[in-house]
Amino acid sequence: MMRVRDPKSAQTGERVRRLTLRVFSLAALLTFVLHGSPEPKRVFSLCQLFQDLDAHDGRRVSVRGIYRFGREVAGLFVGSCEQRVMLDGHEVVPHIVLDFSTKTDALDQAVADAKMKPNAITLAVTGTLRTQSGAPYIGKDSKQYKARMFGHLGAFPAKLLVETIDQIEVSINSETPSNFALQKPKE
């Protein structure tokens, strides 16, 4: 038995196929736009990041600062900021500990060189920021404070889980070298 197709149903079928293809194409494009396209990268200085530190908790951020290291401490620091930086009611110098998932040969080489020379290593890194390390605690003033204790002896108020090292700059700087052991003692 031979089947005869109705020309109208063939046209309708073709229209449905085209419409379905357009819907799936638009859905794929919308998914890419909402989730797959990279956001324009804003690189924060530590001073900018600390102006509203808690707003970035758990978010992916890019930050730039001086990488400093020593026997018991390593992280991003800044010498000073134009505006006072307040955190939990206290003036602070912004600093965060870095938790590298992987390091690069370039960073390893920069650190090796800075162990012998007064080099300053400036890093731009991207990763997920953590600003609260645990349950809040009660201070001496009976106020409740966020637990911000990262790194060795809880010396850092935030931690960045580094995904990528975006930039490494090395310069000679005898005043504030990256290696704490090479710092000039204060007179």
Is the pTM higher than 0.85?
A: no
Is the CB of residue 88 less than 8 Å from the CB of residue 146?
Answer: yes
> What pLDDT band is residue 68 in, cutting at 50, 70 and 90?
very high
The owner of tokens 């390091």 is 103
Give tens-digit pLDDT for 32-64. Answer: 444 444 554 688 999 999 999 999 999 999 999
Give tens-digit pLDDT for 131-179. Answer: 987 766 677 787 766 678 788 777 889 999 999 999 999 999 888 889 9
Is the CB of residue 57 less than 8 Å from the CB of residue 106?
Answer: no
Helical H segments across the chain, by residue range: 7-31, 46-51, 105-114
